[in-house]
Amino acid sequence: MTVTLADVAARAQVSPATVSRVLNGNYPVAASTRERVLKAVDELDYVLNGPASALAAATSDLVGILVNDIADPFFGIMAGAIQSEIGGPGGRAGGERLAVVCNTGGSPERELTYLTLLQRQRAAAVVLTGGAVEDAVHKAAVAAKLRKLAEAGTRVVLCGRPPAPETGAVALTFDNRGGGRELTEHLLGLGHRRLGYIAGPEERTTTRHRLEGHRAALAAHGVEEDPRWTVHGRYDRQSGYEATLELLRRDPTLTAVVAANDSVALGACAALRDSGLRIPGDVSVAGFDDLPFSIDAVPALTTVRLPLAEAGARAGRIAMGREEPPPGGIATVRGELMVRGSSGAPRG
Amino acid sequence: MTVTLADVAARAQVSPATVSRVLNGNYPVAASTRERVLKAVDELDYVLNGPASALAAATSDLVGILVNDIADPFFGIMAGAIQSEIGGPGGRAGGERLAVVCNTGGSPERELTYLTLLQRQRAAAVVLTGGAVEDAVHKAAVAAKLRKLAEAGTRVVLCGRPPAPETGAVALTFDNRGGGRELTEHLLGLGHRRLGYIAGPEERTTTRHRLEGHRAALAAHGVEEDPRWTVHGRYDRQSGYEATLELLRRDPTLTAVVAANDSVALGACAALRDSGLRIPGDVSVAGFDDLPFSIDAVPALTTVRLPLAEAGARAGRIAMGREEPPPGGIATVRGELMVRGSSGAPRG
DNA sequence: AGCGACACAGCAAGCGCTTTCTATGCATAA
DNA sequence: TTATGCATAGAAAGCGCTTGCTGTGTCGCT
């Protein structure tokens, strides 16, 4: 019922080996033979059996992309960029590879399971995007898995994720610390001294790094931080909304709110607006990432632009072996401060 | 070097067949034997060879999800919902399946190629999301492909996409026409009579359906449409910005702008604002989809909410055979009008 | 004319797993 | 005790493809 290589071979009056070689094009085949084979393929509407081919050749054309949340443009943009370089259909590369995006939902277990699944499929490469979880046990487990993948010949690239030493993985890390510092310095420069900070989930590297940058800036300016000024939440709008109300409750005299990312900042804006406060007249707001929608906030969001698409594209090329990995296998990708309407001098 | 089933068998002092059966758990194996095998698996850190298993069993655990633009939350939300039901790691289903999200970028060729790739992998199921291209040739090609997939035992589900007759595919279609009509009726009810419409790409079904709904509403209210009031563009913010300027140029007396979707509407808002017009004081704006960010627009966007997550989840369940397909294999999913601040009575 | 070299094509041995069919052992029934 | 069955394990035949090696003609060279 299903057409196999042998059927094509029979029809083209050649051996299966020849058909395989025509299809893979890595062995000399006479033009006339090739044509005959191609014709047979076409007539029989033959479709290669991927698993069989992967088994025999001991390689597959699957490339895995792990993301924390596929509904978040932060990951969508990176995934899209990676995929376009992987050379899925229409991509720039030659061979047709199946780029598979896996949604971990931020769960460490799922991350591990997906890695195993990918290992099982003998994936050609794997790109992990976004921050990692700090938990030592999980970190070790992931590192072990990555090492194993690398040993099996799978190229591993981390995009926007801290390096994983001793795993052979190439890392393109975002300078979250630097970006956070710069952002807060901007606010301090405007004269703010009482800054609320809405951090992401406590256990994520991204959260910690951005917060550290923020604190470094405060320290550098001799501003003593009040513990009440930091609230942890999720990386979404609702969390930003709630956290802002909480911050306002704790200290109504805050003149600025720095958010873990743009979605959170949007929620913060909504909460401030609902509380009758003007932005930036009463309170300045800052985000992080510079996702497309942040320019449409009113006022437009001051934030740190992360070159998501560029980093993703580069990660994709490295994963495909079409670009040299950075020296030492680690590169830091810097963000750029985008000053817009949501930040201004504090009142008074 | 790589551990195989045979290695595990040797270590556990059983035959490969037994190991396979323990791993697949569909054949009686004595508890003590099972334990021994599991122990060996663990000790050797054995990982099943996916391709080999797929080849032998003639089925794979891959499920494909095709999206037009992975960076667009519209698709991200659906994909996430589908995936959670597919029962990837952590999903509700039992078996671990690899949900693979494929980004077609809206290109018909890529769509076809991805389908072939999935066919090649003998995917267990395929879910196609979002509008289709109207081109007859391509439509036929996709239909043929879908038919073939179905014949090969791959379950095919369309989510937010018009039905594909004679292909055996189950379709969950969004009522874009109805939503469009309702939206425009709302605007007409407010007293608007000169409505600009920013449509999506001409060749997409979604574009046509929404536009038809809009026009049906106009016709029902006896409003004669000026051809200058419709502009086609892409489904993104920038396109909305440019199209709005164009509309304003063509007819500065418009009192409302209806956008193809929320991103376009956001661009429209920006253009209006930049043109010194107030929303909704001077011009009302309406979007479509009700993506999360549309509530954060200022003023919040009047739009049609599409139950993206619900539809995706349902599509996922149907794809996994965990929910009965709708009668006739076709179901229409309705949107809900969300009236918010961006629409109001026209001036004068 | 004779010989090596070359360009192709085919043979056949797997790749690592699943699964049918067949053995074995032991408990139960007669 | 012998027959009957059930529970469980193993042997072995593929699944459809790739690829190293082995032919076989055809050239070009001396």
DSSP string, B267-302: HHHHHHHHTT--TTTT-EEE-SB--GGGGTSSSPPB
A51, A297, A298 member nearest B121 (Cβ): A51
* Overall average pLDDT of the A202-213 stretch: 97
Provide the pairing of β-strand A98-103 with A256-259. unpaired
All residues of chain B having their beta carbon less than 8 Å from the beta carbon of residue A69 are: 80
pLDDT in tens, B280-324: 999 999 999 999 999 988 899 999 999 999 999 999 999 999 999
Residue A8's pLDDT band, with cuts at 50, 70 and 90, is very high
| Chain segment B249-261, per-residue pLDDT in tens | 999 999 999 999 9
In this prediction, residue A2 has a pLDDT band, given cuts at 50, 70 and 90, of: confident
Residue of A83, A277, A87 lying closest to A196 (CA atoms)? A277
Residues of A in contact with B310 (CB under 8 A): none
Q: Select the residue of B100, B104, B116 nearest A100 (Cβ to Cβ).
A: B100
Residue % of chain B over a pLDDT of 70: 97
Task: Give the C-alpha distances (Å, rounded to integers) separating B180 from A183, B216, B341.
Answer: 42, 9, 18
Task: Tell me how far apart the alpha carbons of residues B203 and B291 are, in angstroms, rounded to a whole number.
Answer: 23
* CATH class of the region A57-175+308-333: alpha beta
CA B266 to chain A, closest CA, distance in angstroms equals 7
Q: Which nucleotides of C are covered by protein (CB under 7 A)?
A: 7-12, 14-20
pLDDT of A94 over the 50 cut: no
Please state which of the four CATH numbers 3.40.50.11540, 1.10.10.10, 3.40.50.2300, 3.30.420.10 is assigned to the domain occupying A176-305: 3.40.50.2300
Residue A88 has pLDDT above 90, yes or no: no
- Distance from residue B245 (CA) to nucleotide C7 (C1'), in Å? 65
pLDDT at site B93: 37
Torsional class of A13: left (φ above 0), alpha (ψ -120 to 50), beta (otherwise): left
Confidence class for position A93, pLDDT limits 50, 70, 90: very low
Judged by CB atoms closer than 8 Å, whether chains meet at B51 and A52 is answered as yes
pLDDT tens-digit map of A125-151: 999 999 999 999 999 999 999 999 999
Task: In chain A, list all ranges with CATH 1.10.260.40.
Answer: 5-48
Q: What is the pLDDT of residue B95?
A: 59
Distance CA B65, CA A216 (A): 44
CB-to-strand C contacts below 7 angstroms? A 13-18, 28-30, 32-33, 55-56, 58; B 2, 4-6, 16-17, 20-21, 23-24, 26-27, 46, 48-49, 52-53, 55-57
Q: What's the rounded Cα separation, in Å, for the pair A27 and A44?
A: 23
Distance B45 CA to D9 C1' (A): 24
- Beta-carbon contacts below 8 Å between A and B: 195
Q: pLDDT by residue (tens digit) across B109-163?
A: 999 999 999 999 999 999 999 999 999 999 999 999 999 999 999 999 999 999 9
Residue A16 has what pLDDT? 95
Residue A174 has pLDDT above 60, yes or no: yes
Which of A79, A100, A293 has the CB atom closest to B98's CB atom? Answer: A100
Q: Which fold has domain B57-174+308-333?
A: Rossmann fold (3.40.50)
How many Å does it take to go from CA A95 to C1' D28? 38
Q: CATH second-level architecture of B176-306?
A: 3-Layer(aba) Sandwich (3.40)
Angle made by CA atoms A88, A90, A94, in degrees to the nearest 5: 70
Question: For A101, which of B72, B90, B101 is closest by C-beta distance?
Answer: B101
Listed residue (B268, B271, B342) closest to B302, CA to CA: B342
In chain A, ranges of CATH 3.40.50.2300 domains: 57-175+308-333, 176-305
Beta strands at A62-67 and A125-129: parallel, antiparallel or unpaired: parallel
The backbone torsions φ and ψ at residue B178, rounded to the nearest 5 degrees and listed phi first, read -60, -45
The string of pLDDT tens digits covering residues A268-296 is 999 999 999 999 999 999 999 999 999 98
* Nucleotides of strand D within 7 Å of the protein's CB atoms: 7-12, 14-20
Provide the mean pLDDT of chain A. 94
Write down the architecture of domain A5-48 according to CATH: Orthogonal Bundle (1.10)
What would the pLDDT profile of B199-249 be if each residue is shown by its tens digit?
A: 999 999 999 999 999 999 999 999 999 999 999 999 999 999 999 999 999
Q: A27 CA to C3 C1', in Å? A: 27
pLDDT at A90: 45
Q: Is the pLDDT of residue B5 over 50?
A: yes
Round to whole Å and give the CA distance between A312 and A305: 14
User: What's the pLDDT band for B2 if we cut at 50, 70, 90?
Assistant: confident
Looking at residue B90, its pLDDT comes to: 45
How far is B233 from B237, CA to CA, in rounded Å? 10
Judging contacts by C-beta atoms under 8 Å, the chain B residues touching residue A49 are 55, 120, 122
